[in-house]
Amino acid sequence: MSNNQTILAEADYVIIGSGSAGAALAYRLSESGEHSVIVLEYGGTDIGPFIQMPGALSYPMNMSRYDWGFKSEPEPHLNNRRLACPRGKVIGGSSSINGMVYVRGHAKDFDNWEEAGATGWSYADVLPYYKRLEHWHDGGHGGDPEWRGKDGPLHVGRGSRTNPLFKAFVDAGIEAGFEATDDYNGEKQEGFGPMEQTVWEGRRWSTANAYLRPAMKRDNFELIQCFANRVRIENGRAVGVEVTKGGADGFVKANREVIVSASTINSPKILMLSGIGPAEHLREHGIEVIADRPGVGGNLQDHLELYIQQACIQPITLYKHWNLFGKGYAGAEWTIAKTGLGASNQFESAGFVRSRAGVEYPDIQYHFLPMAVRYDGKAAAEGHGYQAHVGPMRSPSRGRISLNSADPSQAPKIFFNYMSTEEDWVDFRHCVRLTREIFGQKAFDEYRGKEIQPGENVQSDEEIDEFIRDEAESAYHPCGTCRMGAVDDPHAVVDPECRVIGVEALRVVDSSIFPRITNGNLNGPSIMTGEKAADHILGRTLPRDEAEPWINPRWKESDR
């Protein structure tokens, strides 16, 4: 590490990454005006219809301009497929390219974090931060107002659910004997009900819109577009970040702390390039070991999902808009008025259910879409259809991020090790059969055509397993690679204040610190992590909120 690089800038706090956690953190640290904050972001502007129009969500995550373009290593249990792992390379990070689904996670997820050594991260501790970050709009559709925040930076709302299929899905879940829920982000996650989205006035409400733009108006805040190579550590203390900007190397000095908020993929990579990680692995790449933390890059988790698709005998699905004219019309309506199909992510109904008796809280999530389509934007050739994305929430499989090279410009090696336990297969087979049961309810009678995918010839465990190997896709929820835990836990990377164990003035704040993956989409928990970490850094805390979440009284006897 050469220490004579030009100092490009300096601030009290230097944050690597402007994504879900980094943006919230930067906003809160700069809020009082007392501290100077610099955010380093490699990606460019988020201005333009592909990002700002919610209905266009399949585009940005497939565009190299906005996405890092990561792929997993060949996954041995999924026919050696290399799965896409999109991460936002743009202002707002992955919140600018995600599906805009807002889920806090189940209360028990956070109690589990605390039991795993993340003291002070139980649900009672994090609920006040969820309330602080939210500006919740129920749209007159019920919900749990006293569990929700009303004046935070992040607008959270619900789609209009005008398509009758959204109601059919919720009704079918109830006909199958499951619970209904008015607000899965309130007291009761379990059940079928409306899905929430980070959309405001027809626009994607990313952390760039919610947090960064207001922060940029402050004199004590600066955003620098550059590539972060590594954290410079002198005498056991982080002093700044070595960057490349406009082809030249430079240094951004941190007078108080460096905070890595670069994603579950890039945060462990940056730590390892900085000399923090499994000692042997670092030495293999000729990197001087500053802190031997074997947990860096380990504990990698994600949600996998399948798309179960059914043909629709009524021409009411989004397929009728899936042509040049339809897309053009939706785009024009959105451009002029921020209304119409383009103003929603189209995920407007959800379900959270338990897989079997003895499971205390939901471990399966449903997203319902009134169209048969894939994330890469390829529609089902058959035409009209609808689909449920379904997958288990708490896979026991664990993977790892490791370095391909000591060259910061090289992507790391991403190995999820998906479906590596028998439990994964049992859970996924159940997901397929359960979805068929729900699609077979009376509520769908007037819409149901033939099953498109997997297709009715796929029935046995072996046939379903083959379908899983061919078709399971990531839900794009990677987390866990810089796990938070007790200081004496050899596999923990950060302590419960998000401080990297063994190095001074360095923290990691993003989904990489999650000890275990939460129920549902990870954008909400990532933003909450940024909010809460800011208070740890500033030496303050919100009082706990002891609201009791609903747990199914029949959980020991039944799955519903």
Q: Which of 141, 285, 477, 491 is catalytic?
A: 477
Measured CA to CA, the distance from residue 11 to residue 240 in angstroms comes to 9
Spatial distance between the Cα atoms of 99 and 90, rounded to a whole number of angstroms: 15
Tell me: is residue 21 an annotated ligand-binding position. Answer: yes
Annotated binding-site residue? 149 = no
Per the structure block, which two tokens stand in for 159? 């789609």
> Per the annotation, does 291 bind a ligand?
no
Does the annotation flag 183 for ligand binding? no
Is residue 405 a known part of a binding site? no
Per DSSP bridges, beta strands 37-41 and 70-71 are unpaired
Residue 35 assigned to a binding site: yes
Residue 474 carries which side chain, given as an amino acid letter? S
90 assigned binding-site residue: yes
DSSP H helical segments within 137-243, as ranges? 164-175, 207, 213-216
Give the sign of the dihedral formed by CA 291, CA 294, CA 297, CA 299.
negative
291 with 279: CB under 8 angstroms? no
Question: Minimal CA–CA distance to 405: which of 294, 282, 289?
Answer: 282
Q: What is the DSSP letter of 434?
A: H
Q: Would the annotation count 241 as a binding residue?
A: no
Establish whether 443 is an annotated binding residue.
Answer: no
Q: Are 508 and 498 in contact (CB under 8 A)?
A: yes
How distant, in Å, are the alpha carbons of 24, 353, 500 from that of 555? 36, 11, 38
Taking the C-alpha atoms of residue 61 and residue 246, their distance in angstroms, rounded to an integer, is 25
* 32 is an annotated ligand-binding site residue: yes
What is the token pair recorded at 451?
């099953």
The answer to the question of whether 449 is labelled as a binding residue is no
Decide the pairing of beta strands 276-277 and 134-136.
Answer: unpaired
Half-sphere exposure at residue 306, Cβ-oriented, CA atoms within 13 angstroms: 31
Contact 252, 230 (CB under 8 A): no
> 170 labelled as ligand-binding?
no
Question: Strand pairing partners for 90?
Answer: 44
Instruction: Consult the annotation and say whether 20 binds a ligand.
Output: yes
What three-state secondary structure class fits 308? strand
SS (H, E, C) 407-418: CCCCCCEEECCC
- Known binding residue 100? Answer is yes
Phi/psi-derived region of residue 391, left when phi > 0, alpha when psi is between -120 and 50, beta in every other case: beta
User: Is 513 within any annotated ligand binding site?
Assistant: no
Q: Is 133 annotated as a binding residue?
A: no
Q: Is 517 flagged in the annotation as binding? A: no
Residue 101 annotated as lining a ligand binding site: yes
Catalytic (active site) residue 477: yes
Q: How far apart are CA 246 and CA 259, in angstroms?
A: 23
**CA–CA gap between residue 249 and residue 263 (Å, rounded):** 23
Determine if residue 33 is labeled as part of a ligand binding site: yes
451 in a labelled binding site: no
Residue 16 CA: distances (Å) to CA of 91, 185, 259, 530: 12, 30, 6, 13
Decide if 163 contacts 182 (C-beta within 8 A).
Answer: no
311 among annotated binding-site residues:
no
Contacts (Cβ under 8 Å, ≥6 apart) of 220: 30, 33, 34, 35, 36, 37
- Residue 41 annotated as lining a ligand binding site: yes
**Annotation-wise, does 40 bind a ligand?**
yes
16 labeled binding residue: yes
Tell me if 51 is assigned to a ligand binding site. no
Does 34 carry a binding-site annotation?
yes
Residues tagged in the binding site annotation for FAD: 12-41, 90, 98-101
Residues tagged in the binding site annotation: 12-41, 90, 98-101
**Catalytic residue IDs:** 477
